[in-house]
Amino acid sequence: MLRSVFRRSRLRSRIIAALLALIVGLLIWRHLPDHEFSLSYVDRGTVRIALSAPVGGEIAQAEGMAAVAENDDFQLLADLRKQWFRIVDKRGGIFWDSSPLDAVDDPELNENARKMAASPIHLSYTRNFKEIVNTQLLRERYVCQAFPIAGGIQLRYRLEDLQLSFAVELLLAPGGLEVRIPDESIVEAGSAGLVSLSVFPLLGAARQGDDGYIVVPDGSGAIVEFAKPHAVNGNKGYAKWVYGEDPTFRDQRRPESGEPVTMPVFGLAKREGGYVNMLTSGAEDARLIVNPPGVNNLPYYRGGLEFVLRKMYTSRLGSVDRLVPWVEKNRINNDRVARYTFVAAAEPSYADLAGIARAYYRDLWGESESVPDNPLLVRLFMGTTGYQGSLFQTPEVMTTFSEAERIADELLASGLERFSVALTGWYRGGYYGQLPQRWPADAHFGGDKGLLALLEHLNRDHIVLSMEDNDLDVINRGIGGNGVSLRSDAVRQPNGELYVHHPLRPSGSSDTSVRWYWLSPFQDEYRLGGLDYLKRSGVRSVDLRHVGELLFSDYNERMPIRRADTKAIFNQWMKEAKDALGTVRVYQGNDYALIYADTILDSVMSTSNDELFDRQIPFVQMVYHGSKLYYTPPINRSDVPKRELLRAVEYGAVPTFELTYRPTDRLKYTNYDRLYSSQYEAWMPELEEAYRMWQEVWQPLKDRRIVDHREAAADLFVTEYDDGTKIWVNYGERAYRSGGMTVEAMSYGVERNGGGSE
């Protein structure tokens, strides 16, 4: 009897366990990434590069190096059996190998490490679209066929066990080498899908203690020196997305940290020469990699730009708050192109590397005779709503249009003859008001009548007015309604869920109590309506929020887009705004935005606090100065305003102040929590000081190129321009004196061409 009861009990347990397993299986099946797999992408920003036609038969794979391409300045050699490649720079008699010369015979390296170091291609793949496997060409069973093409060689790879194929084209180009990976060459015949590809990740690799360094455009820029040891934590180096992480993939539960990478550039300098690696196609989905000795047991500094073909995201498992990781099933179908430009001079400076990037961008933008006028920027904050959730909200007014007139008059009366005014938060409902239905100007600030009066007032004194516009945010949808259908009009994540934007608090963490959304970039009604409103009002300059600092994917079923498509759409927006108004300015300044924008607001003036970085440098500013105008983030939002003014002098950035007419404490119970001191009267002394500095430093040098920057002594930096002017900045506690030059503590000095100091 007892045995029978026990059997029935055990049977019930098995049935219950089977039912639970079935339920869990159904939940998992329900939330598999079928959403993103079934999408048909719009394909607005894809660059198509056809696979080059061979100009001869297959190249025999003989032992040893053989020349496969040559021009006046460079020669390309290849050992196809070993997969070893060499670029010979005939200008200086130096060469660059795809792998370190000593890697194959290094007794300190095990077999896997030697294959890793000797591989010209590193890649990753997935078989189940859940885990990612990192590998290298020489660790896989592969076949390589090589064919001559005009200017170079085409390498067709097939990874036998993974059933993956792709082509890499190496072409000699002006200044060096171009590497192409045409998307049409990628074939995934089995269960494996490519996740990433990196070509020549050890080009110019250096040992600990070698002379030289790596340059990365993290924030303003940073240097990693070979001579200084760097700790390796968790077998990881530095890896950061170009243009920032795709927000629709980012886990907002973890705080954001560090500064963005705004241009796809990697630089390396050694005793014998250097190079700059730039992406000319595919940068929207690429990462900047820097690895010190010790990562993956390799004794080398190395890095570059890695192409990403699939990304990871998380999907919620049923109604349980459990996130399951997935790898995209859809491959990002862009062609990828990297360019290597070499410096033949010995011991090149980071100014030399910045000059290479500057020349590339000038060709891209077209040479202009001068940058725009560069007066001090006074950004006036108009107002904002309180915390989201109140049923009836009116803006907290910080500055009205008539009060803006008074501020401008007082600045003129104090001796500031040249400044420009920018308005933020003028929208209906204020800064976080009825977006995207943001016009007309809110009546609490003075409405359309007040705006027109302000424009007339400023025009009379030749003061340029620019107004911020926001074409993406969807905020406070439930208060009065704003006509946006979240079901069809809002940006979605790859798992099919709505993307919810939680604003960042000053701590860097997201405020999960606030739920905002982004409008799909194809919803033109609000954008064109706002543009038409500004044009009819007589505004001739617009500060476009998001398009210069934000790049995302949208997995909305109606019109899904990749980041390359978003970039193309943003560029079209900027072109239309420039045609309609005359001047377009952007925030942060991702490089793609500068085709149409000539001014960068809130330019990044620091670098990330990464233990791999040895020095902060103004690399990005050295690329842009003399071509694009860039402003600092608001000086009055910094911890030490005096130091930030000096940093602006050192980096050639024009100061910005974000001010209000009314006391700042009125913002205490609002979502606009980035202003602590803004009432304009309190900042008049700093404005007057900045204006004197503008007359002496920024205005005379606005069209000049920065040709050198260095640390002359502890806490003393010198920036040199192409007309011979040197700007000395002393952050120390004591005055610096050398020859006829004196720079007081926490001050600066100007040495004009010819040696005269001021």
User: pLDDT tens digits for 419-437?
Assistant: 999 999 999 989 988 889 8
The answer, yes or no, to whether the previous bond of 440 is cis (omega within 30 of 0) is: yes
Do 735 and 655 share a structural domain? no
Measured on CA atoms in the order 645, 646, 651, 652, is the torsion positive or negative?
A: positive
Per-residue confidence at 327, pLDDT binned at 50, 70, 90? very high
Q: Which residue has the higher pLDDT, 626 or 28?
A: 626
* Residue 389, pLDDT above cutoff 80: no
What tokens does 454 get? 């302000």
Average pLDDT over residues 78-96: 96
In SS3 terms, 533-593 reads as HHHHHCCCEEEECCCCCCCCCECCCCCCECHHHHHHHHHHHHHHHHHHHCEEEEECCCHHH
Per-residue confidence at 94, pLDDT binned at 50, 70, 90? very high
The whole-angstrom separation of Cα 118 and Cα 101 is: 9
Mean pLDDT value across the chain:
91
Do 12 and 83 share a structural domain? no
* Residue 230, pLDDT above cutoff 70: yes
In sequence order, the β-bridge partners of residue 79 are 84
* Lowest mean pLDDT across 4-13, 158-167, 388-397: 4-13
Cβ pair 442, 428 in contact under 8 A = yes
What tokens does 267 get? 């630089």
Do 686 and 650 share a structural domain? yes
Task: Determine, yes or no, domain membership for 76.
Answer: yes
Task: Determine, yes or no, domain membership for 621.
Answer: no
Do 311 and 235 share a structural domain? yes
Task: Determine, yes or no, domain membership for 116.
Answer: yes
Average pLDDT over residues 717-726: 97
Side-chain-side CA neighbours of residue 626 (13 Å)? 18
φ, ψ for residue 233 (rounded to 5)? -110, 125
Instruction: Read off the pLDDT of residues 114-172 as tens digits, 9 standing for 90 and up.
Output: 999 999 999 999 999 999 999 999 999 999 999 999 999 999 999 999 999 999 999 99
Task: Determine, yes or no, domain membership for 746.
Answer: yes
φ, ψ for residue 398 (rounded to 5)? -110, -30
- 652: three-class secondary structure by DSSP: coil
φ, ψ for residue 573 (rounded to 5)? -60, -45
Instruction: Read off the pLDDT of residues 666-675 as tens digits, 9 standing for 90 and up.
Output: 998 888 988 9
Domain containing 160 equals 66-365
Per-residue confidence at 208, pLDDT binned at 50, 70, 90? very high
Task: Determine, yes or no, domain membership for 549.
Answer: no
**Which residue carries 């008001």 as its tokens?**
433
Question: How many domains in the chain?
Answer: 4
Residues constituting the chain = 758
Measured on CA atoms in the order 710, 747, 640, 546, is the torsion positive or negative?
A: negative
Instruction: Look at residue 607 in the predicted model and tell me its pLDDT.
Output: 97
* Residue 3, pLDDT above cutoff 90: no
pTM: 0.93
Cβ pair 599, 464 in contact under 8 A = no
**Which residue carries 């896997």 as its tokens?**
112
Single residue among 681, 701, 721 that ends a domain in this structure:
701
Task: Determine, yes or no, domain membership for 170.
Answer: yes
Do 226 and 338 share a structural domain? yes
Q: What does the DSSP 8-state code read for residue 698?
A: I
* Residue 707, pLDDT above cutoff 90: yes
Do 143 and 8 share a structural domain? no
The whole-angstrom separation of Cα 577 and Cα 535 is: 9
Average pLDDT over residues 40-56: 78
φ, ψ for residue 265 (rounded to 5)? -135, 135
Cβ pair 431, 384 in contact under 8 A = yes
* Residue 393, pLDDT above cutoff 80: no
Average pLDDT over residues 568-572: 96
Do 679 and 640 share a structural domain? yes
The answer, yes or no, to whether the previous bond of 436 is cis (omega within 30 of 0) is: yes
φ, ψ for residue 659 (rounded to 5)? -125, 160
* Lowest mean pLDDT across 96-110, 516-530, 568-582, 738-752: 96-110
Beta strand 222-225 with 615-616 is antiparallel
Kindly report the CATH number assigned to the domain that includes residue 325. Answer: 2.70.98
Alpha carbon 691 to chain centroid distance?
A: 31
- Measured from the Cβ of residue 689, the count of other Cβ atoms closer than 10 Å reads 14
Q: From residue 49, give the alpha-carbon distance in Å to each of 54, 279, 552.
A: 15, 14, 24
- Measured from the Cβ of residue 169, the count of other Cβ atoms closer than 10 Å reads 22
The whole-angstrom separation of Cα 59 and Cα 69 is: 12
Q: From residue 242, give the alpha-carbon distance in Å to each of 286, 467, 563, 732.
A: 6, 28, 11, 34
Do 294 and 437 share a structural domain? no
Q: From residue 102, give the alpha-carbon distance in Å to each of 86, 116, 274, 299.
A: 14, 13, 20, 11
Do 175 and 249 share a structural domain? yes
Do 130 and 14 share a structural domain? no
**Which residue carries 């891209």 as its tokens?**
364
Do 708 and 662 share a structural domain? no
Task: Determine, yes or no, domain membership for 748.
Answer: yes
Task: Determine, yes or no, domain membership for 333.
Answer: yes
Do 446 and 389 share a structural domain? yes
Instruction: Look at residue 6 in the predicted model and tell me its pLDDT.
Output: 47
